[in-house]
Structure 1
Amino acid sequence: MLYHWYEATHAMLSPYRAMADATKLALNSPVNPFSHMPMAKQMAAGAEMFERATRRYGKPGFELPTALVGGERVAVTEKAVWQRPFCDLVHFQRALPARRRPDPKVLIVAPMSGHYATLLRGTVEAFLPNHEVFITDWLDARRVPLADGRFDLDDYVDYIVSMLHFLGPDTHVMAVCQPAVPVFMAVARMEAEDDPFVPTTLTLMGGPIDTRSNPTAVNKLAEERGTEWFRRNVITTVPFPHPGMLRPVYPGFLQINGFMSMNLDRHVDAHREMFRNLVKGDGDNAQKHRSFYDEYLAVMDLTAEFYLQTIERVFVEHHLPRGTMMHRNERVDPKAIKRVALLTVEGEKDDITGGGQTLAAHGLATSIPEDMRHHHLQAAVGHYGVFNGSRFRADIAPRVMDFMRTHAYRKAQAAKPPAKAPAKDKPSTKPTVLKMIRGGRTADAAKGS
C-alpha cells in the first residue's frame, strides 16, 4: 500500500502545485507592477520552492549534442545498439571522418541504485574526445511489464557478459559504484570459462567490493537491519496505471529519501540558499541549484529481487570477499582473472563507499600480474567526486585513460607473433678484404726473398 499512498498524495497535491506554478509566473511577470516589491519576490520564491518540492522529476537527457575531437567540434548522436527488457546499451556516435583511426571502446556501467544513467553525464563527456563510449541505460522497473520477467543479480551479470560479447574484443570496462560487484563477477566468470571477449582493462570506481572495510552509515544500517527488515518495510508493488503494475519493487522515492536523510543539513542549507538567490534575483546560482536537483531528484524503481539480493550478498553476508559468491550455481572465483588489467579508484571523503572497499578487489584477484594493477586514492573528494566534477576531469579521468591505453598497447604488443631470429651466416669461402690485403703482403714478401 506504500506506493498507492505515495501516488494518492502526489495526485492530491496536483491542484496546489499548479496554483503555485501560476503564482510564480504571475509574480515574476515583467508586466506585473508589483513584481519588484520584496513581498512579491518572496512569494514567488516560495511558490517555486513548493512546486519543485512536490514535483515528480522525469528522466533527464544526456544533452551532449557535440564533442571536441582532435581540435574540431563534431556532432554526437545517441543510439541504443543493444536492448533488453531492463537495459539499453547506448552508444554515443561521433561524426568522425572515415580516415580517423578507431578510438578505444569504453563500456561505462552506470549504477542501478535509484538514479538514471544521466548522473554520469560528466563521465561520458570526459571520455568522448578520445573514446568510443557506450553506457548502460537501466530502465525504470515500474515501466517494465510483469510479463517481461524478473531481473536479479544473476541477470545483471548475464547482461554485462552479453554486452561484452556484443562489443567484441579490446573493450575497456568502467564500473561506477554499485555495478563494481556484478561487473567484477562477470569478468571472473568469463576468465574461468576462458572467454575470448574478456575486457582489456577493468576500472572499479567507488564500488562496494568488501563493505567490511571502513563501513559507512549505509553499510552499518544494512548489517543491523538484515535482509528481512528491508523485505518487510521497503518492498512494495507498482500500482495502476504504470506499465509495470503489480511488479514488486524498491521504489525510487524511498531511495532518494534515504540519500537525502544522510546529509539532511546540507540539503536544507542548499534549499535555503536557493530561496535567498531567488529573492535577490541571482539567476546564475539559482539555475545551478535547479540543474543539480533536477538530476538528483529524478529517480527510478529497482526490482525487488535485485535489490534484496544485493543487500543480502554484498552488504549483509559479504559473499564476494568470503569466497561464497555464486552465479547460476557456479562459484565466482576472482583468482581466475589473469588477462585483465585492474584499476581501482576511491575518494578520500567518500561517505557511501568507505576507503578500502574498492581496493579490496586487488586482494581477491591475486592472479593478475603486479604490473597490470594499480590503485588511486583521490584526495579531497567524496563519492560523487570520484566520477564527476573538476577533480575527476583534472586528475582521475586522465589516469584512467592512460591506464587503458597503456594496457591496450601492451596487449597488442604481446599478441604480435615473435620476430624470427636472423639466420646465422655460413662461413664464407671467399677471402675477406683483410685476408686479401694480408695475402698480398705475404706474396710480395716471398718474391722479395
Structure 2
Amino acid sequence: MFYQLYELNHAMMAPWRTAADAMRLAFSNPMNPISHTYFGRATAAGLEVFERTTRRYGKPEFGLPETLIDGQPVGVHERIVWREPFCNLIHFERALPKGRAADPKVLIVAPMSGHYATLLRGTVEALLPHSDIYITDWIDARMVPLSEGNFDLDDYIDYVIQMLHFLGPDTHVIGVCQPAVPVLAAVAVMEAAGDPLSPASMTLMGGPIDTRINPTAVNKLAEERPIEWFRDNVVMPVPWPQPGFMRMVYPGFLQLSGFMSMNLDRHLIAHKEFFAHLVKNDGDAAEKHRDFYDEYLAVMDLTAEFYLQTVQVVFMQHALPKGEMMHRGRRVDTTAIKKVALLTVEGENDDISGLGQTKAAQTICTNIPEHMRMHYMQPDVGHYGVFNGSRFRREIAPRIVAFQREHARHTNPVKQVIKGGKTA
C-alpha cells in the first residue's frame, strides 16, 4: 500500500504544482513590475522551490553531442546496439576523422542502485576523447511487464558476460560502485571457463568488494537487520497503471530517501542557498543546483529479487571475498583470473564504499601478475568524486586511459579496427 499512497500523493499534488509554476512565471515575468521587487523575487523563488521539491523527475539525457578528438571537435551520436528486457547497451559513436585509427573499446557498467546511467555523464565525457565508449542503460523495473520474467544478481552477471561477448576481443570493462561485484564475478566466470573474450582489463571504482573493511552506515544497516526485514519493509508491488504493475520492486524513492537522510542537513542547506541565489538573481549558481538535483532526484526501481540477493550476498554474507559466492550453481573463483589486468580506484572520503573495500579485489585476485595490477586512492574526494568532477577528470581518468592502453592485448591497441555490431 505504501507505493500506492506515494503515487496518490504525487497525483494529488499535481494541481498545486501546476498552479505554483504558473504563479512563478507570473511573478518572474519582467513585464510584471512586482518581479523587480524583493517581494516578487522571493515569491517566485519560493514557488520554484515548492515545485521542484514535489515534482517527479524523469530520466535525464546524457546530452553529449560532441567531444574533442586530437584537439578537434567531432560529433557524438548515441545508439542502442544491444538490448534485453532489463538493459540497453548504448554506444557513443564518434565521427572520427577518415583514416584515423580506432581507440580501445570500453564497456562502462553503470550502477543499478536507484539512479540512471546518466549519473556517469561526467565519466563518459572524460573518457570519450580517448576511448570508444559503451555504457549499460538499466531499465526502470516498474517499466518492465511481469511477462518478461525476473531479474536477479545471476542475471546481472549473465548480462555483463553477454555484452562482453557482443563487443568482442580486447574490450576493457569498468565497474562503477555497485557493479564492481558482478563485474568481478563475471570476469571470474569467464576466466574459469577459458573464455577467449574475457576483457583485456578490468577497472573497479568505489565498489563494495569487501564491506567488512571500514564499514559505512549503508553497510552497517544491512548487517543490523535480517533479510526478512528488508523483504517485509522495503519491497512492494508496482502500482497500476505502470507497465510493471504487480512486479515486486525496491522503489527508487525509498533508496533516494535513505541516501538523502544520511546527509539531510547538506540537502536542506543546498535548497536554502538555492532560494537565496534565486532572490539575488544569481543565475549561474541556481543553474548548477538545478543540474545537480535534476540528476540526483531522478530515480528508478530495482527488481526485488536483484535487490534482496545483492543485500544478502554482498552485504550480509560477504560471499565474494570469502570465496563462497555462487553463480548458476557454481562457485565464483576469483583466483581463476590470470589474463585480465586489474585497476582499483577509491576515494579517501567515500562514505558509501569505505576505504579499502574496493582494494580488496587486489587481495582476492591472487593470480593476476603484479605487473598487471594497480591501485589508486584519490585524496580529498567522496564517493561521487571517484567517478565525476574536476579531480576525476584531472587525476583519475588519465590513469584509467593509460592503464587500458598499457594492458591492451594487441601489440598496437590504438591501431585496432573495432568490429561492428548489429543494432538490436
TM-score (normalised: structure 2): 0.96
1:412 aligns with 2:410: yes
2:351 counterpart SS class:
coil
Q: How do 1:105-116 residues align onto structure 2 when only pairs under 5 Å count?
A: 105-116=105-116
The residue type equivalent to 1:272 in the other structure is K
The residue that corresponds to 1:219 in the other structure is 219
Q: 1-side partners of 2:280 and 2:126: how far apart? A: 35
Q: 1-side partners of 2:98 and 2:40: how far apart? A: 58
The residue that corresponds to 1:435 in the other structure is none
The residue type equivalent to 2:251 in the other structure is P
The residue type equivalent to 2:133 in the other structure is V
How much has 1:226 moved relative to structure 2? 2.4
The residue that corresponds to 1:357 in the other structure is 357
The residue type equivalent to 2:372 in the other structure is M
Q: Assess if the C-alpha contact under 8 Å between 2:170 and 2:410 holds in 1.
A: no
How much has 1:28 moved relative to structure 2? 0.2
How much has 1:413 moved relative to structure 2? 4.2
The residue that corresponds to 2:3 in the other structure is 3
1:229-266 superposed Cα distances (whole Å, 9 cap, x missing partner): 11110000001111010100000110110110011111
Worse overlay, 36-45 or 191-200: 36-45
Q: 2-side partners of 1:174 and 1:15: how far apart? A: 44
Which structure has the larger Rg over C-alpha atoms? 1
Q: 1-side partners of 2:17 and 2:81: how far apart? A: 39
Worse overlay, 89-98 or 117-126: 89-98
Q: 1-side partners of 2:412 and 2:393: how far apart? A: 31
How much has 1:62 moved relative to structure 2? 0.2
The residue that corresponds to 2:100 in the other structure is 100
The residue type equivalent to 1:60 in the other structure is P
How much has 1:271 moved relative to structure 2? 0.5
The residue that corresponds to 1:68 in the other structure is 68
The residue type equivalent to 1:29 in the other structure is N
The residue that corresponds to 1:280 in the other structure is 280
Q: 1-side partners of 2:121 and 2:198: how far apart? A: 26
The residue that corresponds to 1:394 in the other structure is 394
1:135 counterpart SS class:
strand
The residue that corresponds to 2:421 in the other structure is none
Q: How do 1:156-305 residues align onto structure 2 when only pairs under 5 Å count?
A: 156-305=156-305
1:35 counterpart SS class:
helix
- Number of aligned residue pairs: 413
How much has 1:71 moved relative to structure 2? 1.6
How much has 1:227 moved relative to structure 2? 1.4
The residue type equivalent to 1:329 in the other structure is G
The residue that corresponds to 2:79 in the other structure is 79
How much has 1:98 moved relative to structure 2? 3.3
1:211 counterpart SS class:
coil
Q: How do 1:369-448 residues align onto structure 2 when only pairs under 5 Å count?
A: 369-408=369-408, 411-413=409-411
TM-score (normalised: structure 1): 0.91
Q: 2-side partners of 1:303 and 1:413: how far apart? A: 43
Worse overlay, 97-106 or 365-374: 97-106
1:111 counterpart SS class:
coil
The residue that corresponds to 2:341 in the other structure is 341
How much has 1:321 moved relative to structure 2? 1.0
Q: 1-side partners of 2:158 and 2:19: how far apart? A: 48
Q: 1-side partners of 2:401 and 2:139: how far apart? A: 28
How much has 1:414 moved relative to structure 2? 11
1:345-393 superposed Cα distances (whole Å, 9 cap, x missing partner): 0000000000110000011100000111010000000000000000000
How much has 1:412 moved relative to structure 2? 2.7
Q: 1-side partners of 2:344 and 2:227: how far apart? A: 28
The residue type equivalent to 2:293 in the other structure is Y
Q: Which runs of 5+ in 2 are unaligned?
A: 414-424
Q: 2-side partners of 1:195 and 1:227: how far apart? A: 35
- Structure 1 ranges of 4+ moved more than 4 A: none
Worse overlay, 220-229 or 189-198: 220-229
1:292 counterpart SS class:
helix
How much has 1:221 moved relative to structure 2? 0.6
Q: 2-side partners of 1:98 and 1:106: how far apart? A: 21
Q: How do 1:122-161 residues align onto structure 2 when only pairs under 5 Å count?
A: 122-161=122-161
How much has 1:29 moved relative to structure 2? 0.5
Identity of matched residues, %: 66
The residue that corresponds to 1:431 in the other structure is none
The residue that corresponds to 2:322 in the other structure is 322
1:160-199 superposed Cα distances (whole Å, 9 cap, x missing partner): 0000000000000000000000000000000000000000
2:254 counterpart SS class:
helix
The residue type equivalent to 2:410 in the other structure is A
The residue type equivalent to 1:181 in the other structure is V
1:11 counterpart SS class:
helix
The residue type equivalent to 1:141 in the other structure is A
2:64 counterpart SS class:
coil
Q: 1-side partners of 2:381 and 2:34: how far apart? A: 45
The residue that corresponds to 2:90 in the other structure is 90
Q: 1-side partners of 2:213 and 2:340: how far apart? A: 24
Q: 2-side partners of 1:213 and 1:10: how far apart? A: 40
The residue that corresponds to 2:420 in the other structure is none
